[in-house]
Homo-oligomer: A and B are copies of this chain.
């Protein structure tokens, strides 16, 4: 079997190692021998990290790479329904979905993400069109990046008649998880909404990943319902609440109790560390044993103009927004975009170790805390030991 040798790789613990890749996996990780080796790639002390995990993105609705579409404000404060309507109008005028999805995928890979969970819109208006397109894109990029798809009811489930059947069909077509959207404020029926979500998950053996923007005690109530159903249906470790803003604006006492129950149910929390409103307290949740992971969420779409597909920059933002200053805290911010994400996505063979997949990123930093604060854009990305991107550009 062909072998590739990488010399002088700095691991997260600071040690300098030589790595050998065979059959797409690490076959040896040994202390650096400081000996030249014909045909080997000398990483010259660069930090080697397992490829980042993009835990929440929307491949179907980004305009990245398309013409600039200015953000449109809602009439009277933020309104999810109005925002969804803007999105429908924008998407009608946008470049073909497959092209926009590819632009975004390549952006993510170029920055070092080689595993991803994307939500894909399903509703009565678009039917399964988005799912079919993104399934096609996933197939084309299979060798480059691992993609999980969430059948996402962007217009609600009970609010958009026919959506339950479409979600079922989306799972049959190849989506890995069933999504959800604010069972209370959007569908106005927490039990009815969650009956469909958990019912379909059980029927199809699928995971669950629910968008939950509801704030304060309402958001907390919904999380408690999701936690209870997770335990009742034996789905520990297979359920995610994305955004979960409610955890960011409740009392410390309420949070402590909730965190303990969320951890016990194995429900994971996804945050992108939004800029101007409360979000789940990463440190407190991690301390209670909750798995917190991260995603870019929207990238230049109808919801907002931000996003760069760089999960190392996302770690920086998580640290910055969370007041993480000490080294162990910066390491925690990195964990959120890497190992924690890999755990939630159930990735097999994640890490830099013998037997693990040789999906990794090399960059100039002395250690993980420095990588998180410096966010070096010069990186080389390897998929199964093969260089696939360098300096923000995909290999030809």
Contact = CB atoms under 8 A, between A and B. Distances in A.
Given A305-B369, A369-B70, A323 B375 contact: no
User: Chain A: interface secondary structure?
Assistant: loop
Interface string A252-284: 000000000000000000000001110000000
Nearest to A329: B71
B326 A70 contact: yes
B308 A375 contact: yes
Interface string A358-396: 000000001101100111010000000000000000000
A330 interface: yes
A300 interface: yes
**Interface bin, chain A:** 20 to 34
Nearest to A323: B276
Given A68-B366, A68-B367, A308 B276 contact: no
A322 interface: yes
Contact of A325 (B71, B330, B369): B71
A304 B275 contact: no
A276 B306 contact: no
Contacts of A305: 325, 330, 369, 373
Given A68-B366, A305-B325, A326-B73, A373 B276 contact: no
A318 to B, nearest CB: 10
A70 to B, nearest CB: 5
A321 interface: yes
A90 to B, nearest CB: 14
Contacts of A317: 320
A225 interface: no
A42 interface: no
Nearest to A365: B68
A11 B377 CA distance: 26
Contacts of A373: 300, 305-308
Contacts of A72: 326
Contacts of A276: 320-323
Contacts of A369: 68, 70, 305
Contacts of A82: none
Given A305-B330, A305-B369, A374-B308, A320 B275 contact: yes
A73 to B, nearest CB: 6
Interface in A307-363: 307-308, 316-317, 319-323, 325-327, 330
Which residue, of A71, A370, A375, has the highest number of chain B Cβ atoms within 10 A? A71
A63 to B, nearest CB: 11
Contacts of A325: 71, 73, 304-305
Contact of A71 (B73, B275, B327, B374): B327
A300 B316 CA distance: 14
B323 A71 contact: no
Nearest to A377: B377
Interface string A270-304: 00000111000000000000000000000010001
Contacts of A375: 308
Nearest to A304: B325
What are the 4 A-B residue pairs with the smallest beta carbon separation, nearest first? A276-B323, A275-B320, A71-B325, A70-B327
28 contacts: A68-B370, A70-B326, A70-B327, A70-B369, A71-B326, A73-B326, A275-B319, A275-B320, A275-B321, A275-B322, A275-B323, A276-B320, A276-B321, A276-B322, A276-B323, A277-B323, A300-B373, A304-B325, A305-B325, A305-B369, A305-B373, A306-B316, A306-B319, A306-B373, A307-B373, A308-B374, A308-B375, A377-B377
